[in-house]
Chains A and B, each alone.
Chain A
Amino acid sequence: MQQVRPRITRILCTLMITALMVPMFSACGSKGSSDEGKTAQPDTKQQEQKVDEKEPVTLKFPIWSTITEDLFTKLDLVNEYKKEHPNVTIELELLKDTEYENTMKIRNSANELPDILPLKSSWLINFKDNILPLDDLDAAKNNMFAADFKVGDHIYGVPESQFNEFVWYRKSIFQEYGLEIPKTWGEFVSAAKKIKDGGKYMPFAMGGKDAWPNYPFNEFMPSLVAGDGDYWSTMATMDEPFTKGQAFYDAYVKIQELYDGKLMGPDPLGVGFDQSKLMFGSKQAAMIALGQWFGSDLKSMKDVDLNDVGAFLLPVRNSESDPFNTISMVDTFFTIPKTSKYPDEAKEFINWFFSDKWYSKYLTEAQLQSTMKDVKIDLGTMFKGAFDVSNLNYVLYKGGSEGYKKIESAIKFDVKKMGQDMMAGKDFNKMMQDMNNSWKNARSKLK
């Protein structure tokens, strides 16, 4: 027995050491074999050809929308680009929209950002130290909005599309109740109330459970009331922006009126976006407030009579003599991370993407407006008449300055959560007072 134990121990030792050593040797081995492969090129012609050919490149390109993925597949982005750049393969990766930003933050901390990184305008500030300036890029120079979203002195992203925010409505329901397209906030609320009083349809579909669908109101209305697309930055210079008479307060009084009117069904907070979308699609609801992008969603929904769907701009003004402020959004900023192994190829790809050949075809299919000078897109019949309003004024929405971001982070300022609280019936004046206190406090600490 005594002889057997050491032998077993010895065998186990050998096994264990071998197991530890195998990966080390195999790593060395694989390098060696690849080197061998390289040296074992007998044909000198092939070698010369290889020098002429460009190195194969794979550009990683994440996207956050299934609609975009469908469009890229339909228009065959990968092969279209390969036709002109045979050595470049575009590797698309679809990520969940709600997780996209988090995923990129995590990848950034691991230095694993993709080669082309689409960002929303408000994320540009967060990523500014990790992405390359694109001031010299042709696509940036010919873009109408890229310079508006400079961070510091540099252009970091080229926005892909421009779109407006609409109230989508059912034409037949408006006809049934003899309603005109509202031109003021008062007319808008009255129209919704008339539909509610009819008892047949829900005036407004709101996926309040997901918080974000209240953005046309809670996020954009302060900017619309102020007529200032960079209102968050303006707020960052004020101590008490939640006071009566300030654009934020005035906008939120209007929103509270809408929420208090119970115009969004019995429990808007119990309904998610998907359910609200279906309610509008199945004509249970007369209106839904969403961006231009919703047009693609509608087209993909079955059994929706698109001829019965129209769109109008959300009227926020008090009277027709006031300017009709409407949000204009630019979205999906193409950026290139500093960690990209192929920044030149990525720049070339962005230039190609924004070239007339691909860009017009893509935006026409996506039904979005162009951000490039000289490219005009036909939006189709759904938006017919939507822009025929007096005193129309486009308000270019921005995500807020660095100062605003600091306050936002310090007090966890979340307008969409505030929207939920308002729908839940929280004390409005107390909420505004509390916000004033937190805001002032945060500003004094950050000074």
Chain B
Amino acid sequence: MSDLLSYILTAEFGYSMLRVTTPILFAAMGSIVAESSGASNIALEGNMLFAALFGAIGSGLTGSVFWGLIIAIAGGLIISALLIYFGLYLKTDIILSGIALNTLASGGSIFLMYVILHDKGSTSSIKTLVCPNINLPGIENIPVLGDILSGHNILTYFAFLSVIFVWFLLYKTKLGMHIRCVGENAEAAASVGIKIKSVKLVSLLISGVLASLGGAFLSMGYMNGFSRGMVSGRGFIGLAAAAMGQLSPVPTLIASLIFGCADAMSNIMAAMRIPDEFVKLIPYVTTVVGLIVISSWRTWRVKKKRIAALVSAN
């Protein structure tokens, strides 16, 4: 136990926490954009899975990281396109369609891998390129902080920048205003001539791109190569983070970091020979506990304020 503590207090742990937060954060930001327009993107998990696979194969085949990323995004958007087609055009329930697409992605990714590489387990037969790591000039030389913040994969920095991007998009652009309006009161949007379907479509696409970047990170950064089921619930944890952050970018960032921390901790524990079954539970237990803590804290705060006000009123 004390081993664990002493490890958590190192710069190395901080570094690995940011690393594992990356895919969760992308997914969470993707969820915010979609959910704000009232079209839930439950298919984040599927977006990430396809993006991870396409990125792994794409970068290997083209020999270019850049094209690998583009292909990864295109792969992730296949799932978004299906979700848009089912949910917005055929008007099926968007949540159920999302769940179905996740199942499709999990089988589909293995199928595609087999068709292309004749392998059902991983893409190890092809050499995946990894996105470069970046040293932050100036910061890299600061003790401790430099070790935590510098030298990450470029996609990790993108993930944190995406928080600013999503905030700016939702609160500072016309499109963002329209997205929030459609999400909150679609009829009101229609009555001023905003096209509900187009707005939802655009938010689902943006959401898909963000989640795909998270997927690409998994196979072109976190690991080099795709293996079956490699997203393992990170899309859902991202959904939970967005819910905990009540669709606000900064609180969602904090929630994602908490989940990232749990994930990093489970990695250490796995290395310390704590039973695997238990370790794997940690991120999910954190999610549930996190949701409970946040909501009871909110109720408690309101109650406390009420009692105080009542006392002063009488």
Please indicate whether A and B come from the same complex rather than being unrelated chains.
Answer: no
Residues in chain B within 8 A of chain A (CB atoms) = none
